[in-house]
Amino acid sequence: MDMKTHHLLFILIALPLFCSCRSSRSMLREIQALKSSLYYELTSPIYQEKADQTVYLDFIDYSNMDYYTSVKRKKSAYIPLLLYNYEGELFHLRLGESSLTQLYREFLTEALLTECNSSTCCHLIDNQKGKMIPDSAYRLEVTIRKNETCGRIKLNQSSIPWFEGEMLEVVNNKIRPAASSLAISIRLTQKEDCLLDKTYSTEYQQTTKAQRFEDSPSANAACLDDMTECLSMATKEIVEEISRDIHLILSLQPKSRH
């Protein structure tokens, strides 16, 4: 085998490696063009009696969440051969607010208002503008301690010789179930009294099976939607706990404190 043949063989083997390689940056460019929406579905029992207590929700000023979604390539495998080429890459994604249609703080505020004004004995009012309230009023302070939602995309692509010298490409992209780690602290007060001071946390993991897609953009969009759904469900889990505790505390307060 002469030197020219060696060079040709090297090019044939190495070409797929340099042409098909996906980088974290190229994946991120696709993600940055996408947006997904958080959602809150009310399923708690409706409080049937009159809500005769008012609670003022202070401005939630810190979400402890990255603004930009990040993409990191964790693993990669390449098998460039003459008759069979294989490429496999695993990317880890971390959800940022830039990929959402609204700030997480705004979503959490809406979720608390929706839940508490439906299933508790209080009327929750958004006081984000810091208006003057009565000294005897109940106040709710909310702090987001942790907000991390991650997803994984595995890109698999192989090619084999087909009819008349054409190459048959087999694409098998998968997205793995997303996971959210969320911690929220609340403080319910009246005058100088602290009625409730508690931190709620959850590690929410989707239970759906891995999904398959024929192209990377579809996998990216589906992974982003899965992450926002996961964060929505984690938020719902905590908000329902918060509303139940607020309802219990206020329902036990003496009438003279209302």
pLDDT of residue 190: 93
DSSP string across the chain: --HHHHHHHHHHHHHHHHHH---HHHHHHHHHT--B-------SPPP-S---EEEEEEP-------SS-EEEEEEEEEEE-SS-EEEEEEEEEE--GGGBSS-HHHHHHHHHHHHHHHHSSEEEEEETT-----TT-EEEEEEEEEEEEEEEEEEEEEEEE-GGG-EEEEE-EEEEEEEEEEEEEEEEEETTEEEEEEEEEEEEE--PPPEEESSHHHHHHHHHHHHHHHHHHHHHHHHHHHHHHHHHHHHTS-GGG-
pLDDT of residue 23: 61
pLDDT of residue 154: 83
Q: Which pTM does this prediction carry?
A: 0.81
pLDDT tens digits along 9-65: 444 444 444 444 556 787 788 888 899 999 999 999 999 888 889 999 999 988 888
Specify the pLDDT at position 248: 95
**Amino acid 4: pLDDT:** 54
What pLDDT is attached to residue 19? 42
Residues of the chain with pLDDT under 70: 1-23, 75-88, 156-172, 210, 255-258
Residue 22 pLDDT: 54
Structure tokens at 256: 């003279």
pLDDT of residue 207: 82
User: What is the pLDDT at residue 165?
Assistant: 47
